[in-house]
Structure 1
Amino acid sequence: MIPARRATATAVVLAAAGALLSAVAPTASAAATCASPTYQRQFFANTTFTGTPKKTDCDTAVAEKWGTGAPATGLPKDNFGVRWTVTRDFGSGGPFALPVTAQDGIRVYLDGSRKVDLWKNVSTTQKKTVNVTIPSGRHTLRVDFVNWTGAADVSFAYTPRTTPDVDKVKPLVPSGDSVSYDPATGRAKVSWAKNKEMDLAGYRVYRRPSGSPFKAVPLATTTATSYTDTTLPVTGETFYYEVRAYDKAGNESAGTADKSVTTADRTAPGVPSGLEVTDASEENGLGLGWSSVPGAASYRVYRAPGTTGAYTLLGSAAEPSYRDATAVVGTAYSYRVTAVDAAGNESARSATLTGTRRDDTPPPPVTGLKAIPTDDGFELTWDRNPAPDLLRYSVYGGQLLSDGENSVCAASEVAWLTPDVTSYRYTTVPDGEQRCFFVDSVDSSGNSLYRLHREANVVVATELGAPAEPGTEPGTEPATGGTGA
């Protein structure tokens, strides 16, 4: 019996009918594309990893217990090899542990450099952990496993060493950071890209107002890649944010470039204080004043009639003062003031101030004054004064002094009379003596023309019974004119 020969994978070329015919060897499974950090896994029907893999797929971890069976269809249960390969970004890198177990042989390579070598046929599982430092950036790990005979099992991992005494490598600065602000809610959202660190613990968000440094304590700590700040003051100020990554060993990265937001201003200025009446006059009205408020661009003045009326906006002022020219003389008003900033925010109203516009207008002058001489003095009469707020008449009497050119009535106040009295009897004057008189009208606010201008309508008369002056007759007509002293 002639034994059958093993078929080879070599193509055999035959000539047939003038044409070339080729017999093609069976093809292995197509190479799989595996997204990092998933491994690409290749199965070989030999322990030298030569030829085309019998199978290629993706594997999330190197952790197999195949026992004594074949690891895949088409592979022998002995003398096979399996290779895992992964390329990934290690961020800032740092110290890593490479723990392995295998029965039989295992080798681990970092960027083509062998780091683990347990390459022998064993009857029990062998173990080893190798510590390495992986540089920052992208690197390739390759795990080669072979089983010569017997049971097959294998495991491999790469894990960061995170104790503070070992890991001194800071994480990379987070990238892709940005900030957005919603003026309607007053919230700012800070976002960034996921950090590549394998030992990342989280992120710290810092905030500072313009012109100030970041505080040592972060605004927030998170494991997410965004943070919404709900604590921003709505004062129209500018604030800056930065994000820092920190790892499990406590190392913190440098901060991202500062990103700024300018907040909406919805914070009202302080309430005005020290409200007072600063002046009052008939010409200018009732004046108000108060202390200035920091940040105020203007002020609003509110007025209510009396002490219980409803307040309405009276007007505004750029400075901490206001003159109410519309206040009615003698009427009480209540006032309150608010401060308004450049954004239009209005403060609460100040404490109430009640004031009354003072009457500075004197009554009209007394008219129709007559001084009629009698045997024992004079009878004074005058017209009723039309002033509605007339309080009294003040009667002045005295002597007329003359320097030859000018005459002055040196008079003193001799009587106060109620508004319904328009006459006065002036007695105890020696016969034939001359006297001067004037009457002043005074209102309920104390206003009078005589007090204001020191002038009055003066009448002069001579008491009966005195001999006439040479060239004159005894005074039978009242004298008028002159200036009050």
Structure 2
Amino acid sequence: MNRISTARAATATAVVLATTGGLIGVAASTSSAAVTCASPVFKRQFFANTSFSGTPKKTDCDSAIDQNWGTGAPASGLPSNYFGVRWSVTRDFGSGGPFAFTASSRDGIRVYLDGVRKVDLWKNVSTTVSKTVNLTIPQGKHSLRIDFVNWTGSADVKFAYAPRTSATVDTVKPLTPGGAALTYSTSTYKSKLSWTRSPEMDLAGYQVYRRVSGGSYPVKPLAVATASATSYTDTPPMDGKLYYYEVRAYDKAGNTSAGTADKGVTTTKVATPAGVTATATDTAVGVRWNPVPGASAYKLYRNGTTLTTVKGATAYSDTAVARSVSASYRVAAVDTTGTVVSPLSTASAAVRRPVAAPRSLTATPGLVKASLKWSVPADGGSYAGFHVYRSTSVTVDTTGEPLDCTVKGPVTEGDQRYWTCVDNTAEGGVTYHYVVKGYDSAGTESAASGAVQVTPESRDLTAPAAPTGLTVTPTEYGFTLDWDDNTEADLHRYGIYKGSLYDDGDGGQVCLAHLVDHTFADTSELEYRAAADGEEVCFLVSAIDTAWNDSFRSTGEGKVVQVRELDLRPSEETPASGSPVDVTVVDDGGEISLSWYGGEDATGYRVHRWDGTSYVLVHTLDGGGRVSWTDPSAPRGTTSFYRVTAVLADGTETAPAGVAVALLP
């Protein structure tokens, strides 16, 4: 291996190291008894003769025999010719088997196995000679001795031994690994199988096997370890069962040893998750549970069906759950192997994902009111209704009672559906903030919509001034009213009040009037129809603004005009009673339509109209019962007076029934 210089100090201290699967390091010593070389390192002795007699001149350790000293001395104090070097070692060959001894030298070399010569090249030669010997070494420990001599000339020597690893040559199984032991950690849930290093020189590695109690070891190993390994850490299933392990050695030819004696361990059982809770939000259902020691993942079930596998977390957000439907969740733990699943959690978390929050909320101000409008997403769930919440602060409290607001809808506009609500309890001039929540049939509310704010208009409580300049002129069809225009900007219309005069008890008269007609703000005159039958009446006109403040109703003020109707009644009076005919009149679109009922005895009817001097027959008809007739020739701009009689079966007429009606020009 190393060329030893003759100048090296002969007093060097010996240091010997052994390494895994090989040899390292040499150091020289002149005292043979003081040198100890750990197997498989050779002990090397230098002799100043070729008979290996006497005390060695130097002793040290050599990890490999491969030297070339040329024509010089191999060490200080030795001659350059006629010297000898001896290497020796005792080592464990494990299971033994076929080996190859390869030697080359100049001059002589002899190799001994357990004292038996296996290589013999013992001649003084001028060139290097070589030889390889194949042999079978028995199991266990054996000694090797290599003798080399140099007679004259250059000196070099080389020797190596190695197992023959061809599968066709080596059929010897390795020895079973020794020192097998097994431990199990209840904190990491891992088992550790350990063994001592094998002495096999052709060791390729180790095979680790595992089986459950009552079962057989599989053909394929659980794991393969390197030749330098002395342990393997496994994570067995956390199912509370008994598992056995064994380790086998295998060599480079593919031969496998017998397994070590079974080493068993009962694993910890993966626990059932506890503390399962589910919380519904607008966007998802959040499921949480307590961590399970040793679990690598969790299987989450919804309504008895596998939902997902969760790794590295003890929570899951279920965004796919349907709204307005009860969902129940249970969890099972998966052990660190990913194969064993615990029983399902005994308690299940049930929850309903609420309907989606209303969206696109708008608020429109009105006169002491606010009109709200909103929509919902198409996949928002099944809405049973909506709650409207109101606040005068920016943050709307939705924990109290909702607003008493009648929700109407849905109304479809395009591809959207809308709901509305009018807050009629709002005060004018106050800024309100609104949000809307939907709720399902279980009463579960959604999240709140976005907030909107609105300030309703204040109510106008001031009535317009009472109109002035009212004049009332009697006409043949009733009256013509005229008054001065009001100038209020918010004037909406005029109200026409008509009544009768009554004594007030103090010698005066009071007009008890009620609203009979109206005009819009752009008109300050009116033709009022009434039968010209000479009654004395009273009129007044009120101003009404857009807030429906009425000058007469609000203040009781207004100019009252007393006036008597023209008296156009016929000179021929109609009996006050005694007629079986009941006549009513209707202004049918500017035409006079009469209807009456003459009784079961009537066989026909006769209609007369006053022409200014007498009643003239204008229409006859046969039949009894209820009858109606429209007068196509009724004059406009005046009052028409009618008489209707019933004709009986004997041809006689009943007493007449009278009615009067006026038509505007």
Q: TM-score, normalised by structure 1?
A: 0.52
Match runs of 1:255-270 below 5 Å: 255-268=259-272
Amino acid in structure 1 at the alignment position of 2:31: S
Q: Which has the larger radius of gyration?
A: 2
Q: 1:229 aligns with which of 228, 234, 238?
A: 234
Per-residue CA deviations over 1:294-327 (Å, capped at 9, x if unaligned) read: xxxxx999999xxxx999xxxxxxxxxxxxxxxx
Amino acid in structure 2 at the alignment position of 1:228: T
Amino acid in structure 2 at the alignment position of 1:178: A
Contact 1:162-1:248 within 8 A present in 2 as well: yes
Contact 2:276-2:331 within 8 A present in 1 as well: no
For 2:345, the equivalent position in structure 1 comes to 347
Over 3 Å counting, the alpha-carbon distance change for 1:140 and 1:301 in structure 2 is: closer
Counterpart CA distance in 1 for 2:242 and 2:168 is 40
Amino acid in structure 2 at the alignment position of 1:251: N
Over 3 Å counting, the alpha-carbon distance change for 1:340 and 1:112 in structure 2 is: same
For 1:16, the equivalent position in structure 2 comes to none
Does 1:125 find its partner at 2:123? no
Give the match's secondary structure for 1:40. strand
Counterpart CA distance in 1 for 2:278 and 2:165 is 71
Counterpart CA distance in 1 for 2:271 and 2:349 is 20
Amino acid in structure 2 at the alignment position of 1:234: M
Counterpart CA distance in 2 for 1:246 and 1:136 is 16
Amino acid in structure 2 at the alignment position of 1:205: V
For 2:56, the equivalent position in structure 1 comes to 53
Contact 1:238-1:263 within 8 A present in 2 as well: yes
For 1:152, the equivalent position in structure 2 comes to 155
Counterpart CA distance in 2 for 1:70 and 1:301 is 85
Runs of 5+ consecutive residues of structure 1 not aligned to the other structure:
1-26, 270-298, 312-333, 355-485
Give the match's secondary structure for 2:255. coil
Per-residue CA deviations over 1:57-114 (Å, capped at 9, x if unaligned) read: 1111111000000001111000000000000001000100000110000000000000
Give the match's secondary structure for 2:86. strand
Over 3 Å counting, the alpha-carbon distance change for 1:115 and 1:310 in structure 2 is: closer
Counterpart CA distance in 1 for 2:95 and 2:265 is 30
Over 3 Å counting, the alpha-carbon distance change for 1:106 and 1:301 in structure 2 is: closer
For 1:194, the equivalent position in structure 2 comes to 197
Per-residue CA deviations over 1:212-266 (Å, capped at 9, x if unaligned) read: 1000000000111111113x11111111100000000000000000101111111
Match runs of 1:172-321 below 5 Å: 172-223=175-226, 224-230=229-235, 232-268=236-272
Counterpart CA distance in 2 for 1:300 and 1:245 is 48
Q: TM-score, normalised by structure 2?
A: 0.38
Measured after TM superposition, the shift of residue 179 of structure 1 is 1.1
Counterpart CA distance in 2 for 1:57 and 1:227 is 38
Counterpart CA distance in 2 for 1:67 and 1:146 is 13
For 1:360, the equivalent position in structure 2 comes to none
Over 3 Å counting, the alpha-carbon distance change for 1:353 and 1:95 in structure 2 is: same
Measured after TM superposition, the shift of residue 349 of structure 1 is 5.0
Contact 2:111-2:144 within 8 A present in 1 as well: yes
Identity %: 62
Measured after TM superposition, the shift of residue 35 of structure 1 is 0.7
Counterpart CA distance in 2 for 1:122 and 1:310 is 91
For 2:31, the equivalent position in structure 1 comes to 29
Measured after TM superposition, the shift of residue 187 of structure 1 is 0.9
Per-residue CA deviations over 1:97-135 (Å, capped at 9, x if unaligned) read: 000110000000000000000000000000000011111
Counterpart CA distance in 2 for 1:184 and 1:211 is 26
Per-residue CA deviations over 1:405-424 (Å, capped at 9, x if unaligned) read: xxxxxxxxxxxxxxxxxxxx
Amino acid in structure 1 at the alignment position of 2:230: T
Amino acid in structure 1 at the alignment position of 2:100: A
Amino acid in structure 2 at the alignment position of 1:238: L
Tell me how many residue pairs correspond in the alignment. 276
Measured after TM superposition, the shift of residue 183 of structure 1 is 1.3
Counterpart CA distance in 1 for 2:276 and 2:36 is 76
How large is the RMSD of aligned CA atoms in angstroms? 3.5
Measured after TM superposition, the shift of residue 52 of structure 1 is 1.0
Over 3 Å counting, the alpha-carbon distance change for 1:209 and 1:121 in structure 2 is: same
Amino acid in structure 1 at the alignment position of 2:74: P
Does 1:39 find its partner at 2:31? no
For 2:300, the equivalent position in structure 1 comes to none
Amino acid in structure 2 at the alignment position of 1:46: N
Over 3 Å counting, the alpha-carbon distance change for 1:336 and 1:144 in structure 2 is: same
Contact 1:300-1:337 within 8 A present in 2 as well: no
For 1:116, the equivalent position in structure 2 comes to 119
Counterpart CA distance in 1 for 2:48 and 2:332 is 85
Q: 1:165 aligns with which of 136, 157, 168?
A: 168
Contact 1:188-1:228 within 8 A present in 2 as well: yes
Give the match's secondary structure for 2:133. strand
Amino acid in structure 2 at the alignment position of 1:185: T
Amino acid in structure 1 at the alignment position of 2:151: W
Counterpart CA distance in 1 for 2:276 and 2:119 is 85
Per-residue CA deviations over 1:317-346 (Å, capped at 9, x if unaligned) read: xxxxxxxxxxxxxxxxx89697999xx975
Over 3 Å counting, the alpha-carbon distance change for 1:335 and 1:61 in structure 2 is: closer
Does 1:88 find its partner at 2:87? no
Measured after TM superposition, the shift of residue 350 of structure 1 is 5.4
Measured after TM superposition, the shift of residue 29 of structure 1 is 2.8
Amino acid in structure 1 at the alignment position of 2:109: I
Runs of 4+ that moved beyond 2 A: 27-31, 299-304, 334-341, 344-354
Counterpart CA distance in 2 for 1:89 and 1:48 is 29
Contact 1:302-1:335 within 8 A present in 2 as well: no
Over 3 Å counting, the alpha-carbon distance change for 1:118 and 1:267 in structure 2 is: same
Over 3 Å counting, the alpha-carbon distance change for 1:310 and 1:101 in structure 2 is: closer
Of structures 1 and 2, the one scoring higher in RCO (CA 8 A, sep 6+) is 1
Counterpart CA distance in 1 for 2:349 and 2:97 is 66
